[in-house]
Structure 1
Amino acid sequence: MSESYSQMSVPPHILPGRLVEGYQVFLGAHLPTEQKRYHDLSVHGQKPEVLVIGCSDSRVSPEVIFDTKPGEIFVLRNVANLVPPYRPNNDYHGTSSALEFAVMGLRVAHIVVLGHAQCGGVKTYAEGEKDPYKPPLSAGDFIGSWIRLIAPAAERLGPPSEPFSDYTERLSLESIIQSLANLRTFPWIENLEQRGLLRLHGAYFSIANGKLLALDEVHRKFVPIGEQQHSAALQDPRF
């Protein structure tokens, strides 16, 4: 028989206190107004138009940045928002399988690769390029193997330059472009894009000031989005 816990009585080994508090807020502030949406999503399933490939970084939540409601975007998050090239084999492919489900199962119309400033994964790769003797992040080195996907982007930029922080930001932007190139190695993505049924996008979020950049692939440069609204938001009194 299951045991019910009130907000004040949930032991920490059951669920972290912060999550319990957040759920209580959800029950009081969001579920009453979103109940029909959740019911419809349960009955009819999800039909998001956009897949966002973001970083696992806790500071960069696509749902918060784009102010989306349940069911509006399909989110795939991993270290450094990377996409591997199409390589079907017997390995475990979490990112590729999520891509396949979003594109071929949910039939999303857009894929957005969302990078961000001060990315730990990109910084780790850049530090390894700067100091080849730097040890792997962990004994298993799963991250070291994963972030080698940044290598083609780093090769285009050339050796790490100073100031190092500027180089890592440029590498973050270039790795977004590389992930878009890797997306196009998936035959079903290439086919749907060529037929105009799927569009690929790159975006970059600045944690410090909330600025969003989007990739203009025609001119191969990132341009600001909502620049006037961004300036106005920062000028508003905060208290």
Structure 2
Amino acid sequence: MTEPTTDSPASPLDTLIDGYRRFREGGWKTQREKWNTLSEGQQPDVMVIACSDSRVDPSQIFDVDPGEIFVVRNVAALVPPFETTPGHHGVSAALEFAVQVLKVKEVMVMGHGLCGGCKASLTQSLHGAEPGEGGFVANWISLLDEARNDVASKMGTEGRDAERAMEQAAVRVSLDNLMTFPCVRSKVKDGSLRLRGAFFAITDGVLHVMDEETREFSPAV
């Protein structure tokens, strides 16, 4: 008779540890010289502000090695406007560090298709929710209210076309907010920093880049 197995299913931590072991045997060993260099400091040329969505990892999309991009991720890839009110300004702190200390040459805001935060903004599905029940998200995506009203008035609040318009509008909002930071504005004006907008479509894996003059998105060539 076969004895019943007592092995329990792998936990999420077990899965992560398995991945770590593969990394130690692969990327860590094969790029040991690069890791030695990185242990002395980082010098990325680009900062990427992306969504926390698990499907849109900038390092994977852009196929970069450790140390090449400085990444900040949050719901809907948003940048709040510059402000000095008391509080914990995580995105602002990361931006300040990237621009003033690391002296990155470009800051890219990358939105994506099927973004839950942008859809919630468009439909107002979390409006009035209490903190802990969606209220934190609702407050965060209120940064998009003005852009949301514009999209809704032109395209309604349902359907993939309206959702994509909202997702791309969110990128423009963050780019506009970046220019409210004095350190960013001065560097953009003197040519030492460039702002970029991008959009990754999950359904077909195509990256779209925003034209700096028309502010429209088209597939990257």
Report the TM-score when normalising by structure 1.
0.83
The residue type paired with residue 192 of structure 1 is K
Query: In the alignment, which residue of structure 1 is the partner of 2:214?
Result: 219
Which of these residues, 147, 150, 156, is aligned with residue 144 of structure 2? 150
User: How many aligned positions are there?
Assistant: 213
Contact kept, 8 Å, 1:204 with 1:213, in 2: the verdict is yes
The residue type paired with residue 84 of structure 1 is P
Contact kept, 8 Å, 1:152 with 1:178, in 2: the verdict is no
Give the superposition deviation at 1:158.
Answer: 3.9
Contact kept, 8 Å, 2:126 with 2:138, in 1: the verdict is no
Structure 2 counterparts to residues 199-210 of structure 1, below 5 A: 199-210=194-205
Structure 2 counterparts to residues 48-63 of structure 1, below 5 A: 48-63=44-59
Q: Secondary structure at the match of 2:63?
A: coil
Q: Secondary structure at the match of 1:16?
A: helix
Structure 2 counterparts to residues 99-118 of structure 1, below 5 A: 99-118=95-114
Per mean C-alpha deviation after superposition, the further-off stretch among 155-164 and 70-79 is 155-164
Per mean C-alpha deviation after superposition, the further-off stretch among 108-117 and 15-24 is 15-24
Structure 2 counterparts to residues 13-162 of structure 1, below 5 A: 16-43=13-40, 45-128=41-124, 135=129, 138-139=132-133, 141-159=135-153, 161=156
Report the TM-score when normalising by structure 2.
0.89
The residue type paired with residue 81 of structure 1 is A
Structure 2 counterparts to residues 151-190 of structure 1, below 5 A: 151-159=145-153, 161=156, 163-190=158-185
Q: Secondary structure at the match of 2:59?
A: helix
Give the superposition deviation at 1:32.
Answer: 1.2
1:41/1:132 Cα in 2 relative to 1: closer, same or farther (>3 Å)?
closer
Q: Distance in 2 between matches of 1:50 and 1:100?
A: 13
Q: Distance in 1 between matches of 2:126 and 2:68?
A: 43
Runs of at least 5 residues in structure 2 that lack an aligned partner in the other structure:
1-7
Contact kept, 8 Å, 2:127 with 2:138, in 1: the verdict is no
1:182-222 Cα offsets, whole Å, 9 max, x none, are 00000110000000000000000011211000000212211
The residue type paired with residue 146 of structure 2 is P
1:101-154 Cα offsets, whole Å, 9 max, x none, are 1101100000000000000101111121xx697756843611110000111212
Query: In the alignment, which residue of structure 1 is the partner of 2:191?
Result: 196
Per mean C-alpha deviation after superposition, the further-off stretch among 112-121 and 138-147 is 138-147
Q: Distance in 2 between matches of 1:122 and 1:138?
A: 19
What RMSD over aligned residues (CA atoms) do the two structures have, in Å? 2.3
Runs of at least 5 residues in structure 1 that lack an aligned partner in the other structure:
1-10, 227-239
1:119/1:137 Cα in 2 relative to 1: closer, same or farther (>3 Å)?
farther
Query: In the alignment, which residue of structure 1 is the partner of 2:4?
Result: none
Q: Distance in 1 between matches of 2:96 and 2:198?
A: 21
